[in-house]
Structure 1
Amino acid sequence: MTRIFATYDIETPVGLAHAADVLAGEQSTGTFVKLASETDELRARSAARVENIRTTSSSNAPSLPSRKTGNTYERGLVTVSWPLNTVGTSLPTLMSTIAGNLFELAEISAIRLTAVQLPKEFGRDNPGPQFGAEGTRAFMGGHTGPLIGTIIKPSVGLRPSETAELVKALVDAGIDFIKDDELQANGPDCPFGERLSAVMRVINDHAEKSGKRVIYAANITDEIDQMWRNLDLMQSVGAFCAMVCLQSVGLSGVRAVRNHSEALIHGHRAGWGLLSRSPDIGVSFDVMQKLWRLAGADHLHVNGLGNKFTESDEVVAESARSVRRPTTSDHSLNDAAMPVFSSGQTIWQIAPSRKVVGNDDFIFCAGGGIMSHPGGPGQGVTALRAAAEAARDGVSLDEMTRQSPALQIATQFFKRPSSP
């Protein structure tokens, strides 16, 4: 029988074996009392099953508030499986199963979903990325190297005409990729339609004059019917990248965009810290990125090396690698997404980012790393491009500064982060 597997880091005052049984029952055929209809045959066919338990530690106090208490709180990794026939391949149903009521169980004083293994049927029944890295380059006319990108700043406050003025400065500077901030969607002061039309006039004019198609990731995040209208408007003005705040619209929202869309889907993980920041509760990025990709995301934010947030470089590197691995047991399926590095990025992080990915199939978003270059945004882009070329050719930044005055200035102006 084909099964779905999920692994949890669990802490409990009632013993790992008992807590695992409670979890499996709650998330499949059982409840708080024995049911006459829960027969042995039904359980054999439909129940979740505890596959493995490995104790890792114990403590004298709970990591999270817990109604049930004990003298010792045992901690370990528990793997549970479900038959595919009871869950199906619906991503929302999968989430309700592997990340549902189990987070509230009184027998568990800490729980984090760390991994999921999905059978090939999920790849068959869900659309997955429509374009990925190869398709992204095709939209741009065959661009080579990493995509040097930036974010429209200030995040909010600019009117449509002011946004377009900033975009013109950026495309004239040689940028590859521009995205709306996650906070800028369809507010009264900067309506989506007006902003999109103003920006695309600039981008289309630049493409006609230069032959270069710059990607503008327009933030379409909204109710589903409005996102569909936004996609239709994008198509009418030649825009081909829709930015979606993944957690805000949910898996069904991402799937709805994918089903309606002929555009790249740029997945922003705004709010990610809610699921990831605590070691005692939440969901790992490795789990969520699989589901977001299955729903249709082509690009996925993974934070950045030496970032301004809380994640370590090791976590960021693993996230970047994870979006390129298979989502299911079908390893022949080409469903890799393009990792997006952002958050406090400058010329210092581009070589380590390339080393993590192993090639140039990534987007490198620098806000201040471009805008605050002493020579202006154009020199900021030039410096990043030179740093990317140095990384590709295995040349040190010091050596490349002899060929690029913009890079030399950047190495003197931007403080080298302590971590990459």
Structure 2
Amino acid sequence: MSAHLSATYLIETPLDPRKVAEVMAGEQSCGTFTRVAGETDALRERARAVVEAVDLVGDVTQPSLPNAFLERKGIRGPWHRARVRIAFPYENVGVNLPTLAATLAGNLYDLGEVTGMRLERIALPASYRQQFDFPHYGIAGTRQSTGVREGALVGTILKPNVGMSAEETAALVGRLCAAGVDFIKDDEVCANPVHAPLAQRVPAVMAAVREHRARTGKPVMVAFNITDETDAMRRHADLVAREGGNCVMVSLNWCGFSAVQTLRRHTDLAIHAHRNGYGAMSRDPMLGIGFQAYQTLWRLAGVDHMHVHGLQGKFAQADAEVIESAHDCYMPLAVDATGHDIERDQVMPAFSSGQWAGTVPATWRAVGRDDLLFMAGGGILAHPDGPAAGVQSLRDAWGAVRAGRSLEDASRDAPALAAALRYFGH
């Protein structure tokens, strides 16, 4: 068999999981529900996916998903759950990210044999991974461009989400720069609105950023949301570059692999990858795609930052999922040691959603490092003493955890942190 990549799935079926795994392998390579003319033994040996492992994980008394195929056949439970690993010859796919996604997932979600299907993990040979795009900034480049050599990067999200004019947005960015943030991003719902089109907003915002840098020497990275049709995104990226910017943001799920790859190959700007909509793919434990597999595919498109949500935040994800997602961002994608440059392959996890100084200790304990974007909207902008105090409260909190101190202890000589604990802590 030719060199291959592998994918791990969690499946649910009332049939024999081993037989279902073989159906999956055939469906997503050279086979169909029956052997066809031209499907020779030699062709199958060369091109068919191979089931590497089937591990049973238990039975349930109710199916997770409806299935008309099984109902028509009168097939009922119990429903068996199993973890299945399948190896795919990567020559079937080539260096083709959309087709890779279609091969590893695609019609598997519609198979009549299953009442649950979740793509959990993807493992790639180093030689295959190296044929795709890499981050242009990643962790090291983002640190360099913001001047933050150590410690978490403190970021925020422009609020209100929509409604501000280009001039009002630039004024807010100027205040946030003065407050001491390292990173500012647009909200995912604010891309190119009529009241603040990018053609006006980018020059206005970058003028404020350049003025701040000229006055203080401090660079601030701004992720402009350029989510749009592909050609428009390239034009938007060119505008950001002309104005001296170094980062753009893209809503991954709504642009698609091809558009993000095209953008990556068009610009050297950092790509801040926003995963909004990912919950539709991931919240049901027996359907969709797990973050390890999801971020693997998007990292092949060459993104630099990946959203992972935040600990103790406002969204539905369990803290354990957020933690695992952050560690996934640090792991190299290749599965073997061939001299691959691990640092080059890392992306920076972006923590957001309900984050403030009080969520810093849990983040530090869970991640064990501060190579991350720690973004707080309300945690900065709603601080009772203003945005500068909000930023300072976050820096105080990160300083405390790095020194092994509790926030309560550190707040005795850190008034911004003390105010945050009083205001947000309830």
TM-score range, shorter chain: over 0.9
Give a deviation string over 1:75-113, Cα, whole Å, max 9, x none.
111111111221223211110100110100111110101
Alignment of 1:370-389 (within 5 A): 370-389=380-399
CA contact (8 A) 1:320 1:356 kept: no
CA deviation after TM superposition for structure 1 residue 187, in Å? 1.8
- Counterpart of 1:49 in structure 2 is 50
Q: Output aligned runs, 1:16-415, within 5 Å.
A: 16-67=17-68, 68=70, 69-331=75-337, 332-334=340-342, 335-415=345-425
**Greater displacement, 348-357 / 289-298:** 348-357
- 1:209 maps to amino acid: R
- Alignment partners' CA distance in 1, 2:391 and 2:198: 27
How far residue 327 of structure 1 moved from its aligned partner, in angstroms, is 0.7
Tell me by how many angstroms 1:143 deviates. Answer: 4.2
Q: In structure 1, what is the Cα distance between the partners aligned to 2:216 and 2:120?
A: 47
Q: Distance in 2 between matches of 1:365 and 1:102?
A: 36
Instruction: Quote how far apart the aligned CAs of 1:361 are.
Output: 0.9
- Which amino acid is 2:55 matched to? R
Shift of 1:354: 2.6
Which AA in structure 2 matches 1:185?
A
Q: What is the CA-CA distance between 1:33 and the residue it aligns to?
A: 3.2
Are 1:401 and 1:407, in contact at CA under 8 Å, matched by a contact in 2? Answer: yes
Quick one: distance in 2 between partners of 1:52 and 1:359? 34
Deviations 1:174-209 (A, max 9, x none): 111110000011122221111111111111100000
Question: In 2, Cα distance between the equivalents of 1:136 and 1:393?
Answer: 24
How many Å separate the matches in 2 of 1:71 and 1:345? 44
- Give the aligned residue type for 1:341: F
1:378-408 CA distance string (max 9 Å, x none): 1111111111111222122122112211111
Offset at residue 330 of structure 1 (A): 4.5
- Report if the CA contact (8 A) 1:122-1:294 is conserved: no
Task: Determine helix, strand or coil for the equivalent of 1:37.
Answer: coil
TM-score under structure 1 normalisation? 0.96
The letter of the residue matching 1:363 is L
> Structure 1, unaligned stretches of length 5 or more?
none
Distance 2:230 2:425 in 1: 43
State how far apart, in whole Å, the 1-side matches of 2:391 and 2:211 are: 20
Q: In 2, distance between residues paired with 1:226 and 1:355?
A: 42
Change (3 A) 1:406 1:128: same
TM value normalised by structure 2: 0.95
Deviations 1:249-287 (A, max 9, x none): 112222112111121111111111011100111000001
Contact 1:373–1:379 (CA under 8 A) maintained in structure 2: yes
Letter in 2 for 1:352: A
Q: Which region of structure 1 is more displaced relative to structure 2, 208-217 or 113-122?
A: 113-122
Number of residue pairs matched by the alignment: 416
Identity %: 44
Instruction: Letter of the 1:134 partner, please give it.
Output: A
Does structure 2 retain, via aligned residues, the 8 Å contact 1:324–1:336?
Answer: yes
Write the distance in 1 (CA, Å) between the matches of 2:50 and 2:21: 9
Letter in 2 for 1:117: A
In the alignment, the residues of structure 2 paired with residue 256 and residue 122 of structure 1 have an alpha-carbon distance, to the nearest angstrom, of 19
How many Å apart are 1:319 and its aligned residue? 0.4
Distance of 2:208 and 2:267 partners within structure 1: 23
Q: Distance in 2 between matches of 1:247 and 1:5?
A: 23
One-letter code aligned to 1:53 = V
Q: Deviations over 1:112-157 (max 9, x none)?
A: 0111111112322111111111111111235432111110111111
Backbone CA RMSD of aligned residues: 1.3
Report deviation, 1:363: 0.5
* Alpha-carbon separation, structure 1, partners of 2:155 and 2:373: 7
